[in-house]
Amino acid sequence: MIIVVVPFATLTVDPDAFDLARFCAADTAAALDLRGIEPRLLLDQVEIAADALGAAAAALGADAAFGATLQIIESWVELDALVTDAAGARRAVLHQSLTLGALPQLGRMLARAALLALGEDAAAPEETIESEIPAASMLRLARAVRKLQDGLVDEGTQELLALCLEDPPPVAARRSLLSAVRAGQGGAQMPALHAALEHFAEERPGDAEALLLLAQSRALHLDEAGARELFLRAREAAPDGAFEAQALSGLAALASTAGRDDEAVAHLRSAVKLVDDAQLYAGLGALLLDRDAPEGIAALTRATILAPEDPLLQLALARGLRVHGGDPQRALTAAAAAARFAESPELSEQIREELRLLLAL
């Protein structure tokens, strides 16, 4: 599902309200992203009205849109939010009233309410309570996020890093720093974000998510040895199987790029024992096809079961069955499924070619 998050509006010209509105919109988008939803955070202002939100969603090929109006009343933040579908139909009207110090909880609360209203109950974040932070820290956090959005990356990351290293550190500052790094991977802002992440990881060496992001950054900069060490540290520090599987996937990618396919297969076999993930099975299947075709086909089949509407996985299964002598009818069924879900002309052309080859058998 794709949800457009438009800039939250303010009812006054108060710069603090403006910064808080931008923070809340970004934090809501980040909360959606962590739940497997594709958020599209707009920079251009959109009227917080059903028809305008619906038009924004339709223009971007999204399923829904989310907007809100925020105002500060003494030490309280009042927020009125609206969720619509791409046709402009209202799906939820929400009101939240929180103290400044409780505002870091708002993004997750709004994401949960929006997903429940859209029928995405399984993706909705669990209800949690985050410790309040001083109002002054909240305003510093909002200003830092605004600076990042405005391209003042050095200033924004330094402010976030300073907040992260306070005792106790605001959880929201860490979340904002890591979200910024995740969003900026491979982009022009990455050097400053990478430097801040390096400093954070030195101060918080047991933070598995930070280690994982730092490993991915090192891999992008072709530092295989450094990336491998960090992926291993992230695996050791992983709080659960999902994090460990991500570290193993990173190790597998490094090994495969270096031509160490046996090592890559071993890492992916370990990863799929921890989580049932379509992309992990797809990677394992691709590596196994030429060495153990039945196991490779089995892995690709599992990938399509977990993600039946993914045309690339269906095409990979069809091609694997054709090349390695599998059941032609199964291959045709997979190719037909790929054609049904393909969206780009280039992919549709690849699928047509695969169907031509299968029908010629």
For residue range 38-91, list pLDDT tens digits in order: 888 888 889 999 999 999 999 999 999 999 999 998 889 999 999 999 999 999
CA angle, 246 then 250 then 256, to 5°? 140
First to last CA, the chain: 38
State yes or no: pLDDT of 256 exceeds 90: yes
Report how far residue 129's alpha carbon sits from residue 98's, in angstroms, rounded to the nearest whole number: 13
The pLDDT value recorded for residue 151 is: 86
Give the CA distances from residue 146 to residues 22, 171, 177, 261, 309, in Å, rounded to whole numbers and listed in that order. Answer: 7, 18, 12, 44, 37
* pLDDT grade for 299, boundaries at 50, 70 and 90: very high
217 burial type by CB count under 10 A (0-12 exposed, 13-18 middle, 19+ buried): buried
The pLDDT value recorded for residue 280 is: 97
Q: Which fold has domain 205-275?
A: 1.25.40
Q: What residue ranges do the domains of the chain occupy?
A: 2-132, 133-202, 205-275, 292-361
More confident: 8 or 170: 8
Q: Which of 124, 42, 39, 54 is CA-nearest to residue 90?
A: 54
State yes or no: pLDDT of 126 exceeds 80: no
CA angle, 337 then 341 then 345, to 5°? 115
Mean pLDDT of 336-347: 93
Using an 8 Å Cβ cutoff, are 138 and 100 in contact?
A: yes
Residue-averaged pLDDT of the chain: 91
- Map residue 97 onto helix, strand or coil: strand
Question: Which residues touch 183 (CB under 8 Å, ≥6 apart)?
Answer: none
Percent of the chain scoring above 70 in pLDDT = 100
State yes or no: pLDDT of 286 exceeds 80: yes
The pLDDT value recorded for residue 257 is: 94
Using an 8 Å Cβ cutoff, are 141 and 157 in contact?
A: no
Domain 2-132 = CATH 3.40.50.10070: yes
The pLDDT value recorded for residue 292 is: 94
State yes or no: pLDDT of 34 exceeds 80: no
Domains 205-275 and 292-361 share a fold: yes
* pLDDT grade for 308, boundaries at 50, 70 and 90: very high
Question: Which residues touch 77 (CB under 8 Å, ≥6 apart)?
Answer: 20, 70, 71, 96, 97, 98, 99, 100, 103, 106
| Token output for 179 | 């979200």
Is beta strand 38-41 parallel, antiparallel or unpaired with respect to 2-5? parallel
State yes or no: pLDDT of 118 exceeds 90: no
Q: Give, as one character, the DSSP assignment of residue 45.
A: -
A 10 A CB-CB count for 188 gives 9
State yes or no: pLDDT of 341 exceeds 80: yes
Per the document, the length of the chain is: 361
State yes or no: pLDDT of 128 exceeds 80: no
Report how far residue 288's alpha carbon sits from residue 328's, in angstroms, rounded to the nearest whole number: 20
The pLDDT value recorded for residue 202 is: 92
* pLDDT grade for 97, boundaries at 50, 70 and 90: very high
- Map residue 80 onto helix, strand or coil: strand
Percent of the chain scoring above 90 in pLDDT = 68
* pLDDT grade for 305, boundaries at 50, 70 and 90: very high
Mean pLDDT of 219-247: 94
Q: Give, as one character, the DSSP assignment of residue 167.
A: S
| CATH number of this structure's domain 292-361, picked from the four choices 1.10.8, 1.25.40, 1.10.3470, 3.30.200 | 1.25.40
| Token output for 248 | 């193993």
Give the CA distances from residue 175 to residues 59, 199, 315, in Å, rounded to whole numbers and listed in that order. Answer: 30, 15, 37
- Phi and psi dihedrals of 40, rounded to 5? -120, 105
222 burial type by CB count under 10 A (0-12 exposed, 13-18 middle, 19+ buried): exposed
The pLDDT value recorded for residue 168 is: 81
The pLDDT value recorded for residue 169 is: 81
What pLDDT digit, counting tens, does each position of 149-207 carry?
Answer: 888 989 999 999 999 988 888 888 998 899 888 888 877 788 888 889 999 999 999 99
Report how far residue 63's alpha carbon sits from residue 359's, in angstroms, rounded to the nearest whole number: 36
